[in-house]
Amino acid sequence: MAEHFTCDVLVVGSGPGGYVAAIRAGQLGLDTILVEGDRLGGTCLIRGCIPSKALIEAAEKFEQAGINASGNSAIGLSADKPKLDFKKTIAWKDDITDRLSTGVAGLLKAANVRVVSGWAVFENAKTCSVGDDKITASNVILATGSKSVELKGLPYAKNGKGPIISSTEALDLTSVPKKLAVVGAGYIGMELGIAYRKLGAEVTFIEADKSILPGFDKQLSAPVSKWLRDHNVKIHTGSFAQSVRTKAGKHTLIYTDKSGTKAELICDKVLVTVGRIPNTEGWGLENMAIDMTPENNGAFVKVDDKCRTAMRGVYAIGDLVGEPMLAHKASAQGEMVAEIIAGKKRTFAPAAIPAVCFTDPEIVLVGMTPAEAKEKKLDITESKFRWAANGRALTNGTADGGGFVRILALKNTNRIIGIQAVGRHVSELSGEFVLAIEMNATLEDMAGTIHAHPTLSEATMEAALSALS
């Protein structure tokens, strides 16, 4: 029998923005309903951030075991040649996502949030249908997330059975492809391409830009480029994928190279990672009288610094509202919106949002880069400290590959406005970097803070000391 529910807050989408918003709203005593058409956790937990990092970790362990078996271990380890049961690897990855999804369900239940399974379709700004049922809310939080961009000539295979796959299917393969073509050398393609190279695939990148990792400067991407060269990964920049031809069970990717010449690449799978776009279709956005942003061809929902849309009582968060399309941004916005609805005074105005590229080596980007500071005509001090001079980095392999920590500060005040790093395991330093900028720390603050020895974090202190010398 169809029902009509009412609530204080309706959250659509259970990704890291949606479930955090719903939990916080419930904790604050608001009658909250969360609608989700898939599993709880959204793209990040189920088919993005978490499973990809699990695959990356498994790949790293497999590669290191292979190095030990080859007799090339720098620390003298040796072992038998490793064997990979990839189905078991995927099962381990799935177990992690299952446990986290179950944990989200438990947190929602503890916060007294009602979860409605199904696809929400809005008939107006405050009322939607989910199957035969209807929900009317005083406040609506849109957290529908994003999806992979599909190229016209490279349509994704249904159920991942064909040669052309997105990052979602790449995390659910039953075997490691012998030859993998990756279309797009941005952070998603790089993360997965490097992981599959470590697992034994022959990997080739096709990138339209003139360099890998567009958006990261060459100082930061250079160590990653070195890793790719050292591991015989082929990269075709300035190249455009066109189509895939399949004949007698064999697949050929057809592309044009930087000279405009048609070229072919035989492969088992073609992984397309050319970006993500917000999920704005199929749930009645056109019935909600909401404005879209003028930039990016109106792809994103327009919001103010409180994530309010043009319709009173309707909020939008996360990937739906634009860059950076990062899980932790969505979570911060979700928590803020729930508190605003509960009557608290909040504004979304972070000093910096950290971005991490989980390649080998990892890249961390926080605050302004030298190019951005130059564009703003800021007079800055820039200093780097290389991992090769850090004791902990030398003992755990972080020093290999030419990585560093780079710190930027305003010359007149020494206030830190940007910190970037490239090296193994450096993602764990992102919290220190963003905290320094959020708290308006100066070079003197960072240099004067006693860091534990021996740790990677000392490099940040040393970079600040160098800037002051």
Active centre residues (catalytic): 453
Let me know: does 108 contact 23? Beta carbons within 8 Å: yes
User: Which residue has 């974090």 as its token pair?
Assistant: 457
- Phi and psi at 337, nearest 5°, equal -65, -40
Q: How far apart are the first and last CA of the chain?
A: 74
Reduce the secondary structure of 209-233 to three states and give it as a string: CCCCCCCCCHHHHHHHHHHHHHCCC
* CA-to-CA separations, 233 to 85, 194, 394, in angstroms, rounded: 23, 9, 26
Own/partner long-range contacts of 301-309 (Cβ < 8 Å, ≥24 apart): 301/142, 305/347, 305/348, 305/349, 306/336, 306/337, 306/340, 306/346, 306/347, 306/348, 307/333, 307/336, 307/337, 307/340, 307/348, 309/142
DSSP type of residue 417: E
d(CA 235, CA 457) in angstroms, rounded, equals 33
DSSP type of residue 155: P
d(CA 442, CA 440) in angstroms, rounded, equals 7
A 10 A CB-CB count for 159 gives: 8
* CA-to-CA separations, 355 to 300, 311, 313, 341, 433, in angstroms, rounded: 20, 31, 30, 28, 11
d(CA 399, CA 378) in angstroms, rounded, equals 31
d(CA 300, CA 315) in angstroms, rounded, equals 13
A 10 A CB-CB count for 344 gives: 10
A 10 A CB-CB count for 404 gives: 23
